[in-house]
């Protein structure tokens, strides 16, 4: 795999800082629980920031990375698994979502895209499409 140079001022480190008495797995499960409500808004970011002692910027990054891990899992390809060190929240959410994928003995990874997170993904996509069409 070819490595790309990162532009000045950018980082590929997607770690966030949380309170010492909380864990990354707890954060991932909390965010996953909230994003299931596709109509939730910015107040969810504030809720996570307060609950985990994070900045709003880190909380927004947490939502982004957790959802990124879910979407990667929905490809049903283990080679889409995020880097555990550089993107730990996506790595954790990938594995949480992976466990919900339906089994398929004929698939290379023994899994198919589907399950509750595919339903979530489709609902979010439909909502975005409706909002986009209403804006035009």
Q: What is the pLDDT along the chain (136 residues), one digit of tens a residue?
A: 556 676 666 556 678 999 999 999 999 999 999 999 877 778 999 999 999 999 999 999 999 999 999 999 999 999 999 999 999 999 999 999 999 999 999 998 899 999 999 999 999 999 989 988 888 7
Residue 17 placed within a domain? no
> What letter would DSSP give residue 4?
P
Residue 15 placed within a domain? no
* Amino acid 25: pLDDT: 98
Task: Give the pTM.
Answer: 0.87
Phi, psi of 62 (to 5 degrees): -60, -45
**Locus of tokens 């900045």:** 55
* Amino acid 40: pLDDT: 74
CA dist 90 to 72, 82, 105, 132, Å?
9, 6, 26, 27
Residue 7 placed within a domain? no
Range of the domain at 119: 24-135
Total structural domains within the chain: 1
């Amino acid at each position: 795999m070819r490595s790309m140079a990162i532009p000045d001022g950018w980082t590929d480190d997607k770690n966030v800082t949380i309170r010492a008495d909380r864990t990354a797995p707890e954060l991932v499960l909390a965010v996953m629980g909230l994003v299931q409500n596709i109509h939730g808004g910015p107040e969810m970011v504030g809720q996570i920031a307060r609950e985990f002692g994070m900045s709003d910027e880190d909380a927004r990054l947490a939502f982004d990375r957790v959802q990124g891990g879910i979407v990667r899992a929905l490809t049903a390809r283990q080679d889409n698994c995020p880097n555990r060190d550089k993107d730990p929240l996506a790595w954790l959410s990938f594995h949480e979502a992976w466990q919900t994928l339906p089994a398929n003995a004929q698939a290379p990874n023994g899994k198919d895209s589907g399950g509750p997170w595919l339903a979530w993904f489709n609902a979010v996509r439909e909502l975005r499409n409706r909002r986009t069409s209403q804006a035009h």
